[in-house]
Chain A
Amino acid sequence: MMNTTTRRVAVVNSAQTVLSPAWPDRQHIDLISEAVAGALKGTGLRIEDVDFVIDSGSDFLDGRSISNCGFLGAMGAHHKEESRVEEDGLWSLSYAHDKIAGGSAKVGLVIAYSKPSESDVRNFWTGLLEPFLQRPVGLDQFSAAGLYAQRYLATAGLKADDLHAVSNRAWERAVANPYVDVAEVPGDAAFWNDPVSTPLRASDLARPADGAVAVLLASADVADQVSATPVWLTGLGSAIDQHFLAAREPDALPACAAATRSALRMAGLDDVRSFDLAEVSATSTVGELMVLEALGFAEAHRGLDAYVGATTINESGGALPADVIMATGLVRLHEAASRLAGRTGYETPGATSALVHGTGGFAMQNHCVVTMEVAS
């Protein structure tokens, strides 16, 4: 009903840096520049053709206020319209989609990046908590994941060891992904067995990574000219949960489900199992299972079933081996779009549709879902 006057928007290209636990010899702008250059490369579009830039990054992680201000040159934003969305890059992409769909621009560049290796990541996560009641009591990203996991495992009738299947699968795929800096699946026993925040082990918790990703969006007239296989954005939705962790659902992510409903409604779909691919974000193994359930790939507490369903899930390895905080959702979109377009290194015969999920906030308070397709 509301979309009748809007224009179709496509991903015409995208690029990312290698995601690494640390890029000690490169600055934010070096990573950003590489991703931006990669997104423009081979499209025939030059930076002059880009109407606007929307970017995601974090002042807390960057150690500077209004951090976009210092990175505008590297982002190719000089003398263009630019806005900073301080949330995962998938929200920046949603903004850029709206701007093109509404007819205000034709070509937009979406950028997300972070270098968590430059900061104490715990400060980023605990800084998200209101400072009076939750921040002083020792709650952090690990204990929040542990609290979810204890309740989830109890209800699902699973043991912590059952989660190895989730993380092992993720790390195996990350090893095969040339854009994730990991040579082999971690082999040390402590990683798999020693509790970090019971019942979770290091293997259950997302590993922060440095990196940048850039996605070039265009209206249909431009996309058809510059891309042989434009990846069309068909649905977008986002929803946020309430802030206090303990007040949220104990073992489910209703905001993720709400975001999914919005995206599917816009796409005119009702069954996520029709997607060929899904790339989802999470900050822990249990988090990934709850996401898959909220998205509709499995029944409640049956998230493990999702990996053997019709949809290929997180072929990239997902967020657990490489969580580029603020950029992970947009990396997922880059991965999925590259596969749908069949770009070199991402050839995925027969895949024509994908669902992408991003999350933000403390313990996955906020969720964004984007659906995409290519002409079959």
Chain B
Amino acid sequence: MTVIHQPETAEANVETMDWMAAQIKMPYTLTPGQATGIFLAELAGRRLIGSRHGDELIVPAQDFSGTTGEPATGFVEVAPVGTVQAFTTGATGTIGIILIDGSTVPFVHQLLGVEPEMLELGARVEAVWADEPTGGMLDLAGFAPLGSAATFEPKDDPADLAAAFEKVDYTMTLDYRHAYGPYYGTLFDGVKDGRRIRGVKCSACRRTLLPPRALCDICLAPTAEWVDVEAVGTVQASSVVHIEFIGQRLTPPYVYAEIVLDGTSTRLIHMVGDVDPDVAQTAAAPGARVRAVWSDRHTGSLADIDHFELLPGDET
């Protein structure tokens, strides 16, 4: 049972303990709804579909008009041709606001193959299609200056509309550099270098808080005094984890435990290891006495504790 912990990018910063890298990365399957789902599905066939809402024709098709809230009452296949209403160039290229011919509501997309210095408001552009559709907005790669414009008559309510996409795959990746700050910094410096666990004592209620913090949550009084705490405590609550899920950091089964270290009044979240999950229900139950087993890692985090072990022969 091994704690899978800090992303490798944290390595360089462990020395200074300024911040800890953390990443939240999760897969999603997002449902676009009927109108946008049809619009996206039709891109593979290189058709642009708009939605009708009263007097409005919105391209790309949407379920609801942002102006009126009206739902889509029909669909129109429109020309893959439009006019640039605005554009801007930055590090990732040029994007523009484009009004498709016949549409009443413009949208934003990439402008490809343009020299920004030569581009003018009102420029005529046409759709550029992705070579290989992948099932999303970028199947329409963007817009480029109009070549030879073939005439195109908008088609109301085309009978052969593709079925709406039900799901679009999406991965969200969010990277963070969380500051240790003065309190976690002191705690985890001590954990890393000297296997010291330190809490702080509230100046008012005199209870010891771990992790340490500037103010007592209850008294809102300052906590000035650092207190060394032994890595021995009592399980306040525990459960036996069997479930597996995407994004899980540990391999089940393991015993999830909220432990109050002796002398402190707060919860340390970790696991009780080296115990058969079948007997964990009783052996590692609330009230059990446990002791930290240090790993050979020196990361300056709770991962430096490999797990907590049951204190032998304790009859709590």
Whether chain A touches chain B in the assembled complex (some CB pair under 8 Å)? yes
Determine the residue in chain A with the shortest Cβ distance to B89.
A198
Given contacts A26-B179, A26-B181, contact A197 B89 (CB under 8 A): yes
Closest A residue to B216 using CB positions = A73
Which residue of chain B is the closest to A244 with respect to CB atoms? B66
Shortest CB-to-CB span from A288 to chain B, Å, is: 18
Residues on B with beta carbons closer than 8 Å to the beta carbon of A139: 95, 108
Interface size class of B (residues with CB under 8 A): 35 or more
Chain A residue with the shortest CB-CB distance to B180 = A27
Q: Determine the chain A residues whose CB is within 8 A of the CB of B19 once the complex forms.
A: 24, 118
Segment 65-88 of A: residues with Cβ below 8 Å from B:
72-74, 76, 78-79
Choose among A60, A119, A123, A195 the residue that contacts B90 (Cβ–Cβ < 8 A).
Answer: A195
Decide if B214 is an interface residue (CB 8 Å cutoff).
yes
| B178-218 interface (Cβ within 8 A of A) | 178-185, 213-218
Q: How far is the CB of A279 from chain B (nearest CB, A)?
A: 28
Q: Provide the residues of chain B in CB contact with A117, threshold 8 Å.
A: 177
A181 to chain B, nearest CB (A): 15
Instruction: Say yes or no: is B24 at the interface (Cβ < 8 Å to chain A).
Output: yes
Which residues in B have their C-beta under 8 angstroms from that of A271? none
Shortest Cβ distance from residue A266 to the other chain B in the assembled complex, whole angstroms: 26
Residue of A nearest to B97 (CB): A246
Decide: B179 and A132 in contact? CB cutoff 8 A: no
- Those of B135-176 within 8 Å (CB) of chain A: 136-138, 142, 168, 170, 172, 174-176
**Least distance between A58 CB and chain B CB atoms (Å):** 11
Q: How far is the CB of A325 from chain B (nearest CB, A)?
A: 15
Q: How long is the Cα–Cα vector from A140 to B88 in the complex, in angstroms?
A: 11
Is B32's CB under 8 angstroms from A120's CB?
Answer: no
- Give CA–CA (A109, B181) in the complex, Å: 24
Listed in ascending order, the chain B residues whose CB lies under 8 Å from chain A are 18-19, 22, 24, 30, 32, 36, 39-40, 58, 60, 62, 66-67, 85-93, 95-98, 105-110, 116, 121, 136-138, 142, 168, 170, 172, 174-185, 213-218, 220
Residues of A within 8 A of B (CB): 23-27, 29-30, 33, 36-37, 47, 60, 63, 72-74, 76, 78-79, 115, 117-120, 123, 127, 131-134, 136-140, 142-143, 146-147, 149-151, 154, 195-200, 242-247, 250
Q: Write 10 A-B pairs (CB below 8 A) sorted by A numbering.
A: A47-B220, A73-B213, A123-B174, A132-B32, A132-B36, A132-B40, A133-B60, A136-B136, A143-B92, A247-B107
